[in-house]
Structure 1
Amino acid sequence: MLLKLNHKKHLDNQQKINQLNLKHKKKLQRSSIDIQEKERQRIGSDLHDSVINELNLLFLQSQAGQSEEQFIDSIQKTIQLTRRISHDLNPPLLDYATLDNLIKDLFQQWNIFYTIQLHIDKRPSFELTVEQKMHLLRIIQELMSNIYKHAEASQIQFQLRLSEKAIAFVMRDNGKGFQSPSNQIGLGLQNIQIRATLVKASFKYKKQIPTGTAFLFILPQKTTA
């Protein structure tokens, strides 16, 4: 009788665990759909706020008789914006490139807009899944998009450390700071929260003194004994 009770208890516990796992899987699937929708919104916003505005500016400059040098500079800026959005949509060689090279390529798209200081500390015996690389890239892209739209910054510092224990980075800008009411979370921050949850990472914003914002991110890696 006791053995039967223990066996039944074990089966009940296993059933509860399976139900929790299924519930968690469905939650992640919903989160994945949310991410896709937010990505579409962000890309649409980028096209409207960046490329279309630059094209309108080009049209006005052509009507106002701007100098050839100013006109060429505006064209180059518009081309760079379009390249950056295209890069965000489809990071090159994601399956094969290392995270540090993908990040270097990402920041290269922003060199025309900011002075960027990039420091990468990569330790040996380090591997990342394609999913991890994608989510980390999307988080950094979201941060850059927020800086471009809201921070009014001119300088960015990015420090990345890759080791067998953790993936960690700090991203700082010299803009006007991160100002968001505690009860109001924008789409960009929601996107970051969902992606961090999916890869089981943690992050926080830290307001810098006198100006700017620092973003801290850490993803612990599984270690073998």
Structure 2
Amino acid sequence: MTTPPSHRLLLLAIVLLGIGLYTLDLYLPLGIGNGVLYGGLVVLSLAFPDRTTPILVASTCSVLALSDVFLGVTFANVPFWMGLSNRLFSLTAIWFPVIYAFQRRKIEEALRSAHDELEVRVGERTRELALVNQALVEEIGERMETERFLRESESSLKESQEKLQHSREELRALAGQLLTAQEGERRRIARDLHDDVNQRLAMLAMDLRRIEKGEAGDLAAIEGLVRSITRRLTTVSDDVRQMAYRFHPSILDDLGLVKAVRRLVDDFSASTKTEVVYVHHDAVSPVPTELATCVYRIAQEGLNNVARHAQATEVEVELICDEEVITLSIRDNGVGFDSQQASQGLGRLGLLSMKERVRLVRGTLTVSTAPGRGTHLEVCVPLPGGAHV
């Protein structure tokens, strides 16, 4: 390690002072004062940071002090032992600064080591406390997140329970209204069969008995009566077929969903004098009967709702059948209604029945409407093997 210039100058000064003190000691009988002067050189050497330099200086000063006993000036009236004792005693002044300085350095090093160790311990403890604090912060955050999740779960559960309760109420209302509608339909069918079909069949039977008994008159009258009976039988047959069509349209089995809806659209347009645009795309594979019936009934109910409530002048019906899903869309430019009522199905048996039909085939039904802005009904029904919608 390179010695700094200041240390080199100090070492040179110690050497020169040592030479001067030694020369002075050789010619002047200073006694114990020589040791004190040499002690000054030792004190100067303590400015060096190492331990070697002070020891070398103290050792050199000790040798010089003791050598003066034999090489210095002697006096006849001063015993030799007294001069030697003074020199030995002066060694205390030479070595005391070294011993004191080394002890002080040792104590300082011990204090510094203790301070460093304390800082290390404080640092470790601080890190431990920081880790504990971080763990507490994370735990508090996790607990807050858990509490928030529990609150959200509780809110979601409550909302689900409310929706379930609302669905149950809707189903009860739907079941009640369906039973009422079913009984009404049965009464209407019974009334039609009894008051209309049965009466007409009875009249036909009476005419046939007249022919059987020969009460119909001459041959021309009989031929006219037979033609009348044939015409009325055809009318009764058409009425019975129309009645059966309302329960299950045979056109679904004969021609398929797209053409059945086309027939429905044509009948609607003819009966309501409303312009209807029908857009369709037939499926490559046959549509299962259950799904075709569901979509057909929804189209039927949707057009009935338009006829009864919408007051529309234009209606657009779109039926798209691909390999995964059947999409039915009915859009009108009518008066519309409150969308909240549409979502809740308040007072609308048709919407409730359509929602239930779609739910049974795992489909979706969307009603977009507002007062004065028309209504858009869209139904998506997944096909077997297709993506769930």
2:267 aligned with 1:109: yes
Tell me which residue corresponds to 2:291.
Answer: 132
Deviation of the 1:213 alpha carbon: 0.6
Residues 15-34 of structure 1 aligned to structure 2 (within 5 Å): 34=175
Give me the whole-angstrom Cα distance separating, in 2, the residues matched to 1:43 and 1:172: 28
* Secondary structure of the corresponding residue to residue 279 of structure 2: strand
2:246 aligned with 1:88: yes
Q: Is the 8 A contact 2:280 2:320 kept in 1?
A: yes
Change (3 A) 1:122 1:93: closer
Q: Which runs of 5+ in 2 are unaligned?
A: 1-170, 190-240
Higher RCO (C-alpha under 8 Å, 6+ residues apart): 1
The match for 2:333 among 168, 174, 185 is 174
Change (3 A) 1:170 1:152: same
Query: Quick one: which amino acid aligns to residue 304 of structure 2?
Result: S
Deviation of the 1:42 alpha carbon: 8.1
Deviation of the 1:148 alpha carbon: 1.1
2:310 aligned with 1:148: no
- Relative to the length of structure 2, the TM-score reads 0.36
Cα deviations by residue, 1:11-63 (Å, 9 ceiling, x for unpaired): xxxxxxxxxxxxxxxxxxx99x949647637858x99xxxxxxxxxxxxxxxx
- Bigger drift between 175-184 and 129-138 goes to 175-184
Tell me which residue corresponds to 2:375.
Answer: 213
Query: Quick one: which amino acid aligns to residue 255 of structure 2?
Result: A
What RMSD over aligned residues (CA atoms) do the two structures have, in Å?
3.6
Q: Is the 8 A contact 1:208 1:214 kept in 2?
A: no
Greater C-alpha Rg: 2
* Secondary structure of the corresponding residue to residue 377 of structure 2: strand
Residues 60-75 of structure 1 aligned to structure 2 (within 5 Å): none
Q: Is the 8 A contact 1:173 1:212 kept in 2?
A: yes
Tell me which residue corresponds to 1:158.
Answer: 317
Tell me which residue corresponds to 1:75.
Answer: none
Query: Quick one: which amino acid aligns to residue 302 of structure 2?
Result: L
Percent of pairs identical after alignment?
22
Give me the whole-angstrom Cα distance separating, in 2, the residues matched to 1:136 and 1:142: 10
Change (3 A) 1:147 1:84: farther
Number of aligned residue pairs: 160
Give me the whole-angstrom Cα distance separating, in 2, the residues matched to 1:165 and 1:140: 20
Give me the whole-angstrom Cα distance separating, in 1, the residues matched to 2:329 and 2:379: 6
Give me the whole-angstrom Cα distance separating, in 2, the residues matched to 1:153 and 1:119: 18
Give me the whole-angstrom Cα distance separating, in 1, the residues matched to 2:251 and 2:281: 22
Give me the whole-angstrom Cα distance separating, in 2, the residues matched to 1:118 and 1:84: 23
Query: Quick one: which amino acid aligns to residue 196 of structure 1?
Result: V
Give me the whole-angstrom Cα distance separating, in 2, the residues matched to 1:99 and 1:162: 9
Q: Is the 8 A contact 1:43 1:85 kept in 2?
A: no
Query: Quick one: which amino acid aligns to residue 354 of structure 2?
Result: I
The match for 1:40 among 150, 157, 182 is 182
Deviation of the 1:214 alpha carbon: 0.5
2:351 aligned with 1:193: no
Higher strand fraction (1 or 2): 1
* Secondary structure of the corresponding residue to residue 353 of structure 2: helix
Deviation of the 1:208 alpha carbon: 6.6
Deviation of the 1:127 alpha carbon: 2.2
Deviation of the 1:215 alpha carbon: 0.6
2:233 aligned with 1:97: no
* Secondary structure of the corresponding residue to residue 109 of structure 1: helix
* Secondary structure of the corresponding residue to residue 171 of structure 1: strand
